[in-house]
Amino acid sequence: MTVFLAQFVTIAVVHLLAVVSPGPDFAMVARNSMLYSRKVGVHTAIGIAVGILVHVAYSLLGISFIIAQSIILFSIIKYIGAGYLLYIGYKSLRAQPVSDTEVIAQEEVVTVPFWNSFKTGFLTNALNPKATLFFLALFTQIIDPATPKMIQLAYGIEMMMITLVWFVLVALFFSNAHIRTRIKKVQHYVERFTGVVLIALGIKVALAGRE
């Protein structure tokens, strides 16, 4: 148990450092929280956290190693992920100014279906090839292959919970009433800026190697 506890702590620290590093997940949660609502941001965070389980699942099955070694499979995942970020970024770049009446209306209620915001978070994380390589390294270099699968699954659930807590905090911060009130007045500029960021991340993902 001492060995497993040491692995657990190491994984928790390494994963936390990876999670808090700005990337597509952070950009997406911040965007949805600022432009829509706290609830939308939290739903996006839930999608991202569930996306973690996808990486855990194929890592447990050894598929992540196959993906990392196959140029074709890795490229497919890479370009789909990059394309998704570019698509969301393009939509954000087309944002138009809103009137004062629309700003007030949006402050009162923003209706975005749970599935839509959840799907955005889930796809952003699940299609990130860098996450594939991260989990490959995690499950081959830090986690002993001899570790029971149930223990490895417990590690995966722990990483999902860390991801969920962090991005819920991000959603709470960026959906703060004072921040959102100021943001709404220049909403189209903010959304266009996040569009540029997402497109830049998409290009970075598309050009990413397997190192």
CB 141 within 8 A of CB 10: no
Instruction: Spell out the residues 6+ positions from residue 157 whose beta carbon is closer than 8 angstroms to its own.
Output: 53, 56
Q: What is the pLDDT of residues 164-201, one digit of tens each?
A: 999 999 999 988 877 766 666 666 666 777 777 778 87
Cα(110)–Cα(60) distance, rounded to whole angstroms? 39
Predicted model pTM: 0.76
Cα(122)–Cα(120) distance, rounded to whole angstroms? 6
Domain locations in the chain as residue ranges: 41-206
Q: Could you count the other beta carbons within 10 Å of the beta carbon of residue 91?
A: 12
Q: What is the pLDDT of residues 41-73, one digit of tens each?
A: 999 999 999 999 999 888 888 766 666 667 777
CB 106 within 8 A of CB 98: yes
Q: Which region, left, alpha or beta, applies to residue 176 given φ > 0 means left and ψ of -120 to 50 means alpha? A: beta
What average pLDDT does range 132-152 have in this prediction? 78
pLDDT at 120: 93
Mean pLDDT of the chain: 79
pLDDT at 98: 55
